[in-house]
Amino acid sequence: MSTRQLYFISGSPPCWSAMLALAVKGLSYEPKRLDNAKREQKAPEFLAINPRGHVPVLIEDDTTVCETFAVLAFLDAAHDTPNGAPPLFGETPEQTARIWQSISESESSLRDQIGDISRPLFRGKGAEFADQITSNAEKVLAELSLLEARLESDPFLAGDALSAADLIAYPLLMQLGRAADREEAKAFDLAYPLPDHFTRISQWTDRIAALPGYDTAYPPHWK
């Protein structure tokens, strides 16, 4: 029986992706929560594990894996997906390409843009960063329109099965939703509440939320 630990910061989208992958794979682990407010990820004990001081980090038996994509790839290569579900990175070259395409799109068109919207709103600095929020919101809404169109034909971002593409994009959209829920965010068009603006994306988020183990992956300080 393997031992497994996941170092994470609550609410971090990359960490949530790793935790969702563990949930989808049906793998138990010891959660090792680091406190960002205390900069625990920069403490010598953690820098000995990841000198960059970033989370997530997975330790399974003697293997230490840093970087979100590497964690997902390791879990996928090391463990079957339960109940005959396909691997997170696909079975065929075409599936693998679709999955990586979607992941790359999330990285280039959602991650930093949503970060630039949500960071000021979480810090109560919406007015100060209004131009930054507005310009990034336009980009994110354009990308969400493309995702909405994609989800017209498929239930998941890279086809008819859940994949790593969904596990990477989902926490980003949840981060946007949490930022959009702030009073200050009402001054901006952030497609909130989601079901009123993007029906299919909203149904897709419901599908992710129904995954077994979803609750264990949910950011503890959001509960």
Ligand X SMILES: N[C@@H](CCC(=O)N[C@@H](CS)C(=O)NCC(=O)O)C(=O)O
201 torsion bin: left (phi>0), alpha (psi -120 to 50), beta (else): alpha
Least distance from ligand X to the Cβ atom of residue 69, Å: 6
- Does 26 sit near ligand X (CB under 6 A)? no
Cβ-based nearer residue to ligand X, 56 or 120: 56
- Does 54 sit near ligand X (CB under 6 A)? yes
Q: Among 5, 32, 67, 145, which residue interacts with ligand X (rule: CB under 6 A)?
A: 67
The amino acid sitting at 125 is K
- Does 9 sit near ligand X (CB under 6 A)? yes
Dist. CA 179–CA 184, nearest whole Å: 9
- Does 115 sit near ligand X (CB under 6 A)? no
- Does 90 sit near ligand X (CB under 6 A)? no
Dist. CA 105–CA 143, nearest whole Å: 9
Stretch that binds ligand X, among 7-15, 98-106, 168-176, 204-212 (CB under 6 A): 7-15
Stretch that binds ligand X, among 23-31, 49-57, 90-98, 132-140 (CB under 6 A): 49-57
Q: Among 16, 23, 24, 41, which residue interacts with ligand X (rule: CB under 6 A)?
A: 41
- Does 102 sit near ligand X (CB under 6 A)? no
Least distance from ligand X to the Cβ atom of residue 155, Å: 26
- Does 68 sit near ligand X (CB under 6 A)? yes
**Residues in contact with ligand X by the rule CB under 6 A:** 9, 12, 14, 41, 53-56, 67-68
